[in-house]
Chains A and B, each alone.
Chain A
Amino acid sequence: GAGVSQSPSNKVTEKGKDVELRCDPISGHTALYWYRQSLGQGLEFLIYFQGNSAPDKSGLPSDRFSAERTGGSVSTLTIQRTQQEDSAVYLCASSLVGTGGEKLFFGSGTQLSVL
């Protein structure tokens, strides 16, 4: 596609349920990032995939969060047993290689609301 695509755009779930958020990066981009933006908070890094390397999971807030990237393209962020504090906008971004000197392309985000 022309840009980074995320789905769903909005997700409302009940506390304790599992959710899956999807990110389809720009074709050919080897680096993919997940960020989270909570209400009134800045953006925070969650996880980073680069090519075939092991993902950098250092930003995941708890073991309820996991992500995978299949075939070096689409990524799924899974949150198990959701809590109200998980409510946030989850943003995916991709870049060509993954170095610090690259432009990032962001998706429109998934607004997650945990009731």
Chain B
Amino acid sequence: KNEVEQSPQNLTAQEGEFITINCSYSVGISALHWLQQHPGGGIVSLFMLSSGKKKHGRLIATINIQEKHSSLHITASHPRDSAVYICAIPLFGGNGGATNKLIFGTGTLLAVQP
């Protein structure tokens, strides 16, 4: 079982739809990252959160530490949101502190059609 699981793997939506991508993990974490990867490979960090909810524009990320679950929501989706969305959690280092050695989910391929 992967330590980080995402669903769905593929998602097709119509422009304007509300989108939810889910991420579940099996280990204790200090923070969770949501990343966006556009065709061509460039990865952008969207959010890094350790509790509650964060919002940036049309993107909202939530996390429930007790349930080991996070969601990424996109409101009023647009074709330019088409990308792979990846959640990732940090491994802990030898001194017990969290690092940015990340374990990644397999990603959710989102296609937003006009």
Contacts and interface: CB of A to CB of B under 8 A. Distances in A.
B41 A102 contact: no
A44 B101 contact: no
A108 B48 CA distance: 20
B101 A104 contact: no
Interface of B: 29-31, 33, 35, 40-45, 48, 50, 86, 88, 90-93, 97-107
A103 interface: yes
A58 B93 CA distance: 11
| A interface, size bucket | 20 to 34
28 contacts: A31-B100, A42-B107, A43-B86, A43-B88, A45-B103, A48-B99, A48-B100, A48-B101, A56-B99, A56-B101, A58-B101, A91-B43, A93-B100, A95-B100, A99-B98, A99-B100, A100-B31, A100-B90, A100-B98, A101-B50, A104-B33, A104-B100, A106-B35, A106-B45, A108-B40, A109-B42, A109-B43, A111-B41
Contacts of A51: none
Nearest to A94: B100
Contacts of A104: 33, 35, 45, 100, 102
Contact of A102 (B35, B86, B100): B100
